[in-house]
Amino acid sequence: MNKKNATRLFGAVAAAIAAGAAFLAVSGMAHGLETALPDAALPFHKVETRILLAQADTAPAMTPVSYSSQQADRGEKSYEKYCVECHGDDLKGGLIGGPPLRGLAFESKYMYEGAPAGALFDFMSTAMPPDSPGRYSPQTYADLMAYILKRNGFQEGAELPSDVDALYNLTMEK
């Protein structure tokens, strides 16, 4: 897990704990207990259970990733202009030695079922191209990702967002 993902996870956990604490403070009692006890008087495992239940109720539903055909077409044009030299016409590696963007090694790293789509976008937008990372607009990176998804057999649908936070709510499911 990279530092950015760890920070997001920590922030999400902290927000859920704060929300649970606020709920408990307002309600004045723990669900399932006969008496109203302040959190400090409850055994730790009971407080933790309540927080986990609150998190389960508010966890966002994950949606499978998709892209529009127009977006993948734009991505193909950008790929041919910026990426083909390193990653090849067939996305299986180019003459300069760029890693493949198709096949088992790539899929096991970024495209296994349930992986967040934001992880691939994060890598692309912060590390590519190697000589000038982050050079392109978020929309260009989303278009490139749409083309990569298309070439890896993912289904068309709604346009792929260019917002990394929105992409972390999408899963890599074909």
30-44, 46-60, 143-157, range with the lowest pLDDT: 30-44
Please, which residues bridge with residue 64 across strands?
A: 171
pLDDT at 95: 83
Q: Apex CA 140: angle with CA 105 and CA 78, to 5°?
A: 75
| pLDDT reported for residue 72 | 98
Helix (H) or strand (E) holding 63: strand 63-64
pLDDT digits (tens, 9 = 90+) for 1-36: 554 554 454 444 444 444 444 333 334 433 443 344
The structure tokens listed for 81 are 């202009």
Identify the bridge partners of residue 67 per DSSP, sorted by sequence position. 156
Positive or negative torsion for Cα 115, 116, 121, 123 = negative
Q: Which helix (H) or strand (E) holds 64?
A: strand 63-64
- pLDDT at residue 88, rounded to an integer: 96
111 in Cβ contact with 167 (< 8 Å): no
The CATH label, of 1.10.630.10, 1.10.760.10, 3.40.50.2300, 3.40.50.620, for the domain at 64-171 is 1.10.760.10
pLDDT tens digits for range 105-144: 899 999 998 999 999 999 999 999 999 999 999 999 999 9
Q: Tokens at residue 148, please?
A: 């990569």
Both ends of the chain: CA-CA distance in Å? 23
Max CA pair span of the chain? 71
Domain positions in the chain are: 3-59, 64-171
- Looking at residue 57, what is its pLDDT? 52
pLDDT number for residue 26: 36
Average pLDDT of the chain is 78
pLDDT at residue 94 in the model? 84
